[in-house]
Structure 1
């Protein structure tokens, strides 16, 4: 029996499927998006919308969401739905903080990885070996992780100096880097509030100012995941388990092994996201500090169509929305009403161009509604500011649902030899 058929990707059929975006098109879309942001900032006067501090904060908030999404991508590409990402992040926060305050932050990072990996391994045993429903298993792990960490905190952090049953002692910070000269120059350029140029400077400045080394590691994991899953024989075999495990087995792939590896890596990445929250974002473990980021990470993965680049874009969107309430709050979110109105106008024009008249009219109506909301008010309610990340999650998933294509065998039960 040969495995040559699964050692390299097959060529895509000519004329079939969606046209792949090339780098010039991607850069053009990014430039158009930045131009739109510049226009909104200039009209609304919300100068902090693309400031260095705003972008730096958004990146820090996007990293744990992105790591959870990356973890979900690994599991679901192998055919296992991982609703348990939230629980694995919880395990990562606890184990990362427990080891971090005693032996240093990098040991905490390692233990956060291990804690999340244990949650992933448990999910793999339940779903792959015992064939339990993936959703049921994930929800059970989320509940179990919260109870388990609460129990452990009672006789670890509660007994430690500076800790309590709900939080850990302070953890030493991981080194942050700033590119001297370049960072100051970009900050000065952003402060001039020039159209487009200052916005671009603010975004670039946020990427080179007070950048934690763990943030750099997390960002590099995105292209690393793409290379492993889409450019290696290992990745092709793993993805075949999520598309057609019966066919993969017939070609000699050990489906159980690849599913176990994928779900364990998935848990480790979610655990790393949890460790980032405890060690980098706050410097302390606090009960409930994940705040649903595991679920938002899952939404980012779905928004990204189960691809690393799209997932990173989704995580950045959610992180940016979340950061708005920390800097400028109501003013920045109020400016987003204008941005949403403009985006809906673009969507309406596109739908009309595609001759989807009903969708185009609905988009135009919503655009008018958001524009009137922006014009007739000076600020938005504080409750709306707090809910903005979650509203964004729902809107993005609703608008992107039609173009999604999940792995064909994602969440489906599999037994070894079932194809015989």
Structure 2
């Protein structure tokens, strides 16, 4: 009997285990998403006859409007991975817009960018002092930073810009960054776009907008995405910083200076948010400080970070989505936004099929209802009311957060109060 048991145990030990499913790497999943989005936009453009969905002008505008959101989202990533919730991104961006205009007025766009980074970092320093040193509630401190940033920018604008511009709400016109184009590639993509081939011309139009009229700040902002990933996920420094957002007591027991890493994360967060403010001032279409210039982009950046599940690649997709929605309403107006609703119906149709394949009946039913509502809005209107169009990006933000909320995994100690030695 014992021999039989041993034999059965031996058979169990030698039985081959089924191979585990290997997930695609992040860059491959991102590429598949990009191809899928282009396919949906191409189909919607062909079905509705609205070429603006995939035009070069729309892509250029979307890229310019996505940059402040992307930089604010990266700022939120650095702070929250260190365990500090940063609702104050909006206020740090406001400080960045004023600093960018002030610096550019006295030394050109590069000085303006440096000044924006400094002013944003100062906002981050105030948030770090309040939350890390004095254990103030992170939400309360962030709201205070937003109000303080708005008040400081308004006061300094009245004090310094009003004698020069005659208006306390704006600065004099400042120099912006020069733009550059990949001429050969841009000409080739333009020819493809003009041929109006389904799919090919749509992809060419979108890609052409990404290589035409690109400013140095644009390149820096995009490069900061892989740099942030490499630093936070592939270095000892990044591991220690993220450990402060997951379990600061355990990190402290291993000799990590949790206070220092939290300060570094929030300072970087403010600096990146300040760069986001600089993007509003120093890129084409800016040219100076204007009161309420950020228009809630700090909050949208926070939403993009949450949509991206606190990962650099994910927040890049979120920033691109919100920037595209904002740019489309500027480039194409109400008809283009309606055409985007048609594209959303197509995307929901694909999602419903996937949910049915997975036998997730409730999710599939909700998707059918959502697609029906969006299609009714598209069918019943020739164009959206002009008063609603400027809020396209904000509506997209709410919808995306509602859909994405089921799969989120924030850092475990994000927003938690910490005192040195409390784990002893």
Q: Which structure has the larger Rg? A: 2
Is 1:397 the counterpart of 2:401 in the alignment? yes
Match of 1:248 in 2: 251
Name whichever of 233-242 and 329-338 sits farther off.
329-338
2:335 matched to 1:331?
Answer: yes
**By how many angstroms is 1:24 displaced?**
4.1
Deviation (angstroms), 1:381? 1.7
Moved beyond 3 Å, runs of 4+: 14-26
User: Could you say which residue in structure 2 is the equivalent of 1:101?
Assistant: 105
**Residue segments in structure 1 that go unaligned for 5+ positions in a row:** 1-13
Contact 2:341 2:375 in 1 (8 A): yes
Give the whole-Å Cα distance in 2 for the aligned partners of 1:195 and 1:384. 30
Return the alpha-carbon distance in structure 2 between the equivalents of residues 264 and 156 of structure 1.
26
Mapped pair 1:298 → 2:302: yes
Determine whether 1:199 maps to 2:183.
Answer: no
Verify the 8 A CA contact 1:128 1:256 in the aligned structure 2: yes
TM-score normalised according to structure 1 size: 0.94
CA pair 189-259 structure 1, distance change in 2 beyond 3 A: same
Q: 2:392 aligns with which of 381, 388, 393?
A: 388
What is the root-mean-square deviation in Å for CA atoms of aligned residues? 1.7
Shift of 1:149: 1.1
Matched, 1:312 2:316: yes
1:153-178 CA deviation, whole Å, 9 max, x = no partner? 11200112x35211011111212101
Paired with 2:421 and 2:20, the residues of 1 have a C-alpha distance of 32
Equivalent of 1:80 in 73, 84, 95: 84
Relative to 1, partners in 2 of residues 1:17 and 1:308: Cα closer, same or farther, differing over 3 Å?
farther
Pick one of 176, 185, 199 that aligns with 1:173. Answer: 176
Query: Contact conserved, 1:47 with 1:193, CA < 8 A, in 2?
Result: no
The CA deviation string for residues 351-408 of structure 1, in whole angstroms up to 9 with x for no partner, is: 2222221221121122122223222322122233222100100000000001110000
Query: 2:345 maps to what in 1?
Result: 341
Q: What residue number does 1:7 align with? A: none
Residue 344 of structure 1: how far off its partner (Å): 1.6
Correspondence for 1:134: 138
- Trace 1:217-366 onto structure 2 (pairs within 5 A): 217-280=220-283, 281-366=285-370
CA distance in 1, matches of 2:402, 2:51: 30
CA distance in 1, matches of 2:422, 2:22: 33
Deviation of 1:350 after TM superposition, in Å, equals: 2.1
Give CA deviations for 1:60-103 in whole Å, capped at 9, x if unaligned: 00000000000000000000000000000000000110111111
**Counterpart position of 2:157:** 153
Partner Cα separation in structure 2 for residue 411 and residue 72 of structure 1: 12
Q: CA deviation at 1:183?
A: 1.1
Residue correspondences, number: 406
Provide the C-alpha distance between the structure 2 equivalents of 1:279 and 1:22, rounded to a whole number of angstroms.
Answer: 32
